[in-house]
C-alpha cells in the first residue's frame, strides 16, 4: 500500500501520543493508513521500558554465547595432550562449531517469523546451556565435539534474534546508539575470547572454560524466562526442506573447504583435492540455493529472502562488512601465530597483548553509535576504512625483530578503525530494508559474517603457510621464514582493504523505511 509522505508525517508528528494509542480518536482515513505503515509494536512509556529490558537481556545473552566462538582457539594444545588426539582431530572442536553456525543461521529467518521472541530466546539459551554443561563433563573427545555442536546451535540463533528485535523496537533516530552496543557483542566477544581462555588455562584445567561460563548462561536463561516478553507477532510460514538441505551443503561445504585451506596448502595433493571438492560442492549447492530462494520469494516462502539485496545501501554495507570481518578474523589468527612463533611470547602474554584492542572496540562502539545518529555513516566509515588499510600496510613491514609494543599499538589502531566501521554498517544496512524483511536481513548478516570470517582466516593462513614453506625450502631459518609468511599474509589483507576504502564512499544513511513508505 502506498502512503503519501505528508500523511505519515502528519500522523506521526502532529498527533498526540494518547491519540496514537487509541485509533478511534484519529480520523478513520488517516488512522487506516498509519496502521498499515506503523511498526507492529506501539510506542508507549510501558512498551519503551519493556523494550529496553528485552534488548539489554538479549545483548547480555548474545555476548555470552558469541564469546565461545573463539574461546577454544588457545585451548587446542592443552586438549591435544589431555584427550590424546592429534592436531587434525582437535581442530574439529572449532570446525564443528563453525559448520553448525553456518547451517543454522540461514534457518533463523524462518524461525524468527514462525515463533515468538520468548520461545526463540528460551530455545537458544537452553541449547547453549545444555551444550556448555555437556562440554564441561565430557568424558572424551567425541562427546566434546557433540557438545560444541549443541552450543553452536544456540549461538547461531541469538545474534539474528537480537538484531531483528532491535530493528523492530528501536526508532530509526536511535538505532545507531543501540547498534553500537550490538557491535560490542559482535566484535569484542570474539576478540577477548582467546585472552580469557589463555588466562583460565594458565591456572586451571580446560574444563573450567565451560564451568565458568555455565552459571552465567543458566542465569541468563532464568532471567530471560522471567523478563523476556513477546515483542513480535509470529506468522504461520512453511519451512522449505529442500532449501534447508541446499543451505547446509552450500554454506557448510564452503566453510569446511575454507577452514581446511591453511592445512591443505602445507599438506599433500590429497588434502588439496579434498579442500577443492568441498568448496566445489558448496559453490554448486549455494548456486542452487539462491535459485530456489528466487523462486520461493515470489510466494513469500523463501528460507532466506534475497529481496534485501534490492536495496543498494544494504548490498554495499554487506560487502564492506564482509571485508571488515575477514580482516578482523584473519588478524585474530595471524597475529597470535606471529607473536608466539616468531617473537616467542607465551599464551598468556599473547592474550594480554591483544586485550587492549578488544577493549578499544568496546569503548568506541557506543560513541560511534551516537555519532552515527547525528552525522550518518560516511564521516565514520571512510576514516575507519582508511585507518584499517593503513595499519595493514604498516604490518607488512614487520619482521622477527619487531617490538611487541609496536604490534600492540598497531592492533589497538586497527581495532579503532574496525569500530568506526562495524556500527555504521550494521545500522545503515539493516535500516535500508523494509520491516518485514528484518529477520531475513539479520540472518544474511550472520551468514556473511561466518563465511567472511572463515574466508579471511583461510586466505591469510594459506598465504602464510605457503610463503613460510617456500622461504624454508630456500634455506632461511624458521623464524625469518615465518616472519616472511606473516608479511605476505598482511600484504594480501592490505590489498583487499583497498576495496573497502573505495566502497566506503558509496555508503549512506538510509531513509526511514516503513513497509513500503520511504520518509525522507
Query: What does the pLDDT profile of the chain (520 residues) look like in tens digits?
Result: 434 444 334 334 444 444 434 444 444 434 444 344 444 444 444 567 777 888 888 888 888 888 877 777 667 777 878 888 876 677 778 778 877 887 888 888 888 888 888 899 999 999 999 999 999 999 988 999 999 999 999 988 888 888 888 888 888 777 777 777 777 777 677 767 777 887 788 788 889 989 999 999 999 999 988 888 776 777 777 888 898 899 889 888 887 887 676 555 555 555 677 778 888 999 999 999 999 999 988 888 888 888 999 899 999 999 998 988 888 777 777 887 888 888 888 767 877 887 888 888 888 888 998 899 888 899 999 999 999 999 999 999 988 888 989 999 999 999 899 889 988 998 898 888 888 888 888 888 888 887 887 788 778 888 888 888 889 988 888 888 888 999 999 999 999 999 999 999 999 888 754 444 333 3
Give the whole-angstrom CA distance, residue 172 versus residue 281: 40
Closest CA to 394 of 458, 321, 486, 504: 486
CA 44 to each of CA 19, 345, 408: distance values in angstroms, whole numbers, following the listed order: 11, 55, 47
* pLDDT value for 228: 80
Residue where the block lists cell 530509526? 172
Closest CA to 107 of 446, 344, 517: 446
* pLDDT value for 235: 77
* pLDDT value for 221: 92
**8 A C-beta contact, residue 275 and residue 253:** no
Q: Which DSSP symbol is given to 232?
A: S
The most distant pair of C-alpha atoms in the chain lies apart, rounded to whole Å, by 84
Angle at 433 between CA 427 and CA 438, to 5 degrees: 80
Grid cell for residue 174? 536511535
Residue where the block lists cell 586497527? 414
Element (DSSP H or E) covering residue 517: strand 517-519
Strand 517-519 and strand 512-514: pairing?
antiparallel
Give the whole-angstrom CA distance, residue 15 versus residue 26: 8
3-class SS letters over 110-152: HHHHHCCHHHHHHHHHHHHHHHHHHHHCCCCHHHHHHHHHHHH
Element (DSSP H or E) covering residue 237: none
**8 A C-beta contact, residue 128 and residue 152:** no
Secondary structure of residue 519 in the 3-state scheme: strand
E strands within 313-387?
A: none
Closest CA to 165 of 370, 439, 443, 449: 439
Give the whole-angstrom CA distance, residue 508 versus residue 81: 51
Reported as half-sphere exposure (CB side, CA atoms, 13 A), residue 75 has a value of 26
Closest CA to 324 of 235, 418, 189, 441: 418
Element (DSSP H or E) covering residue 272: helix 269-296
Secondary structure of residue 224 in the 3-state scheme: helix
Closest CA to 257 of 455, 88, 489: 455
Element (DSSP H or E) covering residue 95: helix 92-104
Residue where the block lists cell 543498494? 312
Phi then psi dihedrals of residue 512, to 5 deg: -70, 115
* pLDDT value for 83: 85
Give the whole-angstrom CA distance, residue 392 versus residue 503: 17
CB neighbourhood size of 57 (10 A): 20
- pTM here is 0.73
Closest CA to 123 of 161, 87, 92: 161
Bridge partners, residue 512, by sequence:
519
Phi then psi dihedrals of residue 509, to 5 deg: -80, 130
Q: Which residues contact 15 (CB under 8 A, 6 or more apart)?
A: 26
Bridge partners, residue 103, by sequence:
none
Q: Which residues contact 414 (CB under 8 A, 6 or more apart)?
A: 327, 331, 357, 387, 388, 391, 392
**8 A C-beta contact, residue 7 and residue 32:** no
Instruction: Please report which residue ranges of 432-475 form alpha helices under DSSP H.
Output: 438-473
Closest CA to 509 of 501, 518, 500, 517: 518
Give the whole-angstrom CA distance, residue 422 versus residue 130: 31
Element (DSSP H or E) covering residue 513: strand 512-514
**8 A C-beta contact, residue 32 and residue 54:** no
Grid cell for residue 284? 554448486
Amino acid at each position: 500500500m502506498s502512503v503519501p509522505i505528508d500523511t505519515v508525517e502528519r500522523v506521526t508528528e502532529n498527533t498526540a501520543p494518547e491519540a496514537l494509542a487509541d485509533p478511534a480518536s484519529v480520523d478513520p482515513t488517516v488512522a487506516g493508513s498509519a496502521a498499515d505503515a506503523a511498526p507492529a509494536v506501539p510506542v508507549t512509556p510501558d512498551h519503551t521500558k519493556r523494550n529496553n529490558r528485552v534488548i539489554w537481556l538479549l545483548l547480555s545473552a548474545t555476548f555470552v554465547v558469541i564469546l565461545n566462538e573463539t574461546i577454544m582457539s588457545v585451548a587446542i594444545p592443552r586438549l591435544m595432550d589431555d584427550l590424546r588426539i592429534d592436531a587434525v582431530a582437535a581442530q574439529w572442536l572449532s570446525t564443528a562449531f563453525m559448520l553448525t553456525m553456518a547451517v543454522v543461521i540461514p534457518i533463523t529467518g524462518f524461525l524468527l517469523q514462525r515463533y515468538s521472541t520468548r520461545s526463540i530466546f528460551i530455545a537458544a539459551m537452553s541449547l547453549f546451556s545444555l551444550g556448555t554443561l555437556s562440554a564441561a563433563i565430557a568424558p572424551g573427545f567425541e562427546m566434546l565435539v557433540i557438545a560444541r555442536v549443541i552450543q553452536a546451535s544456540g549461538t547461531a540463533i541469538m545474534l539474528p534474534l537480537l538484531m531483528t528485535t532491535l530493528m523492530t523496537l528501536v526508532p530509526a533516530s536511535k538505532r545507531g546508539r543501540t547498534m553500537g552496543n550490538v557491535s560490542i557483542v559482535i566484535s569484542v566477544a570474539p576478540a577477548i575470547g582467546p585472552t580469557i581462555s589463555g588466562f583460565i588455562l594458565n591456572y586451571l584445567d580446560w574444563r573450567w572454560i565451560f564451568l565458568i561460563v555455565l552459571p552465567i548462561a543458566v542465569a541468563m536463561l532464568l532471567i530471560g524466562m522471567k523478563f523476556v516478553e513477546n515483542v513480535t507477532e509470529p506468522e504461520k510460514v512453511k519451512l522449505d526442506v529442500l532449501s534447508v538441505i541446499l543451505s547446509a551443503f552450500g554454506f557448510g561445504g564452503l566453510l569446511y573447504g575454507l577452514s581446511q585451506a591453511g592445512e591443505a596448502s602445507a599438506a599433500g595433493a590429497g588434502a588439496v583435492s579434498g579442500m577443492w571438492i568441498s568448496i566445489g560442492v558448496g559453490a554448486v549447492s549455494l548456486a542452487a540455493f539462491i535459485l530456489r530462494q528466487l523462486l520461493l520469494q515470489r510466494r513469500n516462502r523463501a528460507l532466506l529472502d534475497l529481496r534485501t539485496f534490492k536495496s543498494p545501501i544494504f548490498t554495499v554495507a554487506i560487502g564492506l562488512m564482509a571485508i571488515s570481518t575477514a580482516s578482523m578474523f584473519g588478524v585474530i589468527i595471524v597475529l597470535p601465530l606471529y607473536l608466539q612463533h616468531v617473537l616467542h611470547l607465551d599464551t598468556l602474554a599473547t592474550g594480554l597483548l591483544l586485550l587492549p584492542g578488544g577493549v578499544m572496540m568496546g569503548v568506541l562502539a557506543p560513541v560511534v553509535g551516537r555519532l552515527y545518529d547525528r552525522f550518518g555513516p560516511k564521516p565514520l566509515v571512510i576514516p575507519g576504512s582508511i585507518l584499517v588499510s593503513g595499519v595493514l600496510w604498516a604490518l607488512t613491514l614487520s619482521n622477527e625483530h619487531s617490538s611487541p609494543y609496536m604490534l600492540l599499538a598497531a592492533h589497538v589502531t586497527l581495532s579503532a578503525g574496525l569500530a568506526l566501521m562495524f556500527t555504521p554498517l550494521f545500522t545503515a544496512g539493516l535500516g535500508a530494508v523494509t520491516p518485514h524483511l528484518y529477520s531475513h536481513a539479520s540472518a544474511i548478516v550472520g551468514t556473511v559474517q561466518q563465511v567472511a570470517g572463515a574466508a579471511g582466516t583461510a586466505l591469510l593462513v594459506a598465504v602464510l603457510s605457503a610463503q613460510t614453506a617456500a622461504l624454508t625450502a630456500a634455506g632461511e631459518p624458521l623464524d625469518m621464514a615465518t616472519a616472511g609468511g606473516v608479511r605476505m599474509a598482511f600484504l594480501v589483507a592490505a590489498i583487499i582493504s583497498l576495496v573497502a576504502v573505495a566502497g566506503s564512499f558509496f555508503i549512506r544513511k538510509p531513509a526511514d523505511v516503513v513497509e513500503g513508505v520511504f520518509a525522507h
